[in-house]
Chain A
Amino acid sequence: MKDRIALLVYLVAVVAATLVHAIPVLALAIALVMLLAWRDARKIARRALLAIVVFNLMISVSYMVIALIQDGIAWDYLVLMNLRVFLITSMTFLFVERVNPFNALAFSPSLSYLLTLAYTQLLTFRRIYHDMRLALTSRSLGRLRMKQLYRHGAASGSFFVEKALSNASESAQAMRSRGFFNDQV
């Protein structure tokens, strides 16, 4: 229940952050998020900064260049936009840090089960793909050529398609044998 309320509060806070266009309010909200994060404040601020720095820098610099040529830079817009993006991203990382999303989405048993199953499959697939990349690098002398990368991408992609199909049928059988579908009726 606690996680579901946290999800609701997070969603309301995200919408509120996009409805507010006052710089002091957004700055205050960031301070509040950092206060809530307490010991994790530095970690969350760092993660949020790293997550947004490339996109925001690209947009901010492009905006400055174009605005300089046209009718001058609106500095308050630049501050507002960057603060808002930082605030929402910090809120997201605080949510991810403090809340169990599987519990938060447990209002729908099917969605919760679907996400749990997808997440476990995803972790396995991600690890296998990482191992495949390492295997390719360790067996290659020098820089990989474009053709090799395409062949590797296609071969590993087709492996995952086959694995997905067999895992789907295995999971369905496992669920049936444990009476999951009987409980659903």
Chain B
Amino acid sequence: MHIPDGFLSPQTYLPLYAVAGVAWAVGMRRIRSALDERTIPLLAVVTALAFVLSMIAVPLPGGTTVHATGIGLLAILFGPWVAFMSLSLVFLMQALLFGDGGITALPLNALAMGLAGSFTGYGVYKLLHQWHAPTALFAGAATAVLLAALIVALVLGIQPLIASRADGTPLFFPFGLAITLPAVMLPHLAVAAAEGVLTVMLFRFLVRFREVRTA
């Protein structure tokens, strides 16, 4: 889902930076008002947690593995604003400290995975958890991944429409929606299912840890 630099047009990433800037300001204010002194330490460790969660290899049928995103898990555990800010910091650190990911793709990754993914995952979980908690966890984690992938596919797919030469030759990402939607969404169906299973199992371990500790 991570897009490198050079595939998004400035007509895309500059307005996205403006939107993300507003979201970061709102997010910081929300977290500060809820946490006060604990804001910086909590954000820092949740950022590190988000980073390490993205290192966890999740196996798919057929022998391949993908990396977990942890979007739904972070949103359910710490709330969508903390998840959004932490994931944004992960993308910033990946871009500026490790040279991984892209500085032009940062606002798209932050808004798609961090904001839309976190709020969707959290919302779906809240909607379903009274009925059946494991289903709510699975659905929350899976929909977070699917919505983030859908937004990335849509933004990539409109690049030939908004940035191409007069003869129709693309200038940035070359494929339209007819290609990006199936190419991004079909593999992410399996990724979302794997992420859902991992999230349910992880919560079970967490509950067991706490039971053992309080026993």
Contacts and interface: CB of A to CB of B under 8 A. Distances in A.
A175 B41 contact: yes
A19 B102 CA distance: 16
A110 to B, nearest CB: 6
Interface stretch (B55-63, B115-123, B127-135, B145-153): B55-63
A181 B37 contact: yes
Contact of A161 (B38, B77, B97, B102): B77
B76 to A, nearest CB: 11
Contacts of B52: 122, 125-126, 129, 160
B155 interface: no
Interface size class of A (residues with CB under 8 A): 35 or more
B10 A161 contact: no
Interface string B47-73: 111011101111101000100101001
Interface string A136-178: 0000000000100111011111111110110111111001100
Contacts of A117: 40-41, 44-45
Contacts of A121: 44-45, 47-48
Interface in B17-45: 37-38, 40-45
* Interface majority SS (helix, strand, loop, mixed), chain A: helix
Interface string B86-104: 0001001101111110111
Contacts of A125: 48-49, 51-52
Nearest to B46: A164
Contacts of B198: 150, 153-154, 157
B56 A119 contact: no
Given A14-B103, A51-B100, A89-B4, A66 B93 contact: no
Contacts of A21: 165, 171
Contacts of B92: 115
Contacts of A153: 56-58, 68, 198, 201-202
Interface size class of B (residues with CB under 8 A): 35 or more
Interface of A: 11, 14-15, 17-19, 21, 47, 51-52, 55-56, 59, 62-63, 66, 74, 76-77, 80-81, 84-85, 87-89, 92-93, 95-96, 101, 104-105, 110, 113-115, 117-119, 121-122, 124-126, 129, 146, 149-151, 153-162, 164-165, 167-172, 175-176, 181
Instruction: List the 6 closest pairs (A to B, CB-CB), nearest first.
Output: A154-B201, A85-B6, A121-B48, A171-B41, A117-B44, A158-B205
Given A125-B48, A154-B201, A167-B45, 20 more contacts: A15-B10, A18-B104, A18-B172, A59-B174, A77-B174, A93-B99, A110-B40, A113-B40, A115-B92, A122-B47, A122-B51, A122-B52, A149-B59, A150-B198, A150-B201, A157-B198, A157-B202, A160-B49, A160-B52, A175-B41
Interface of B: 4-10, 13-14, 37-38, 40-49, 51-53, 55-59, 61, 65, 68, 70, 73, 77, 89, 92-93, 95-100, 102-104, 165, 169-175, 179, 197-198, 201-206, 209
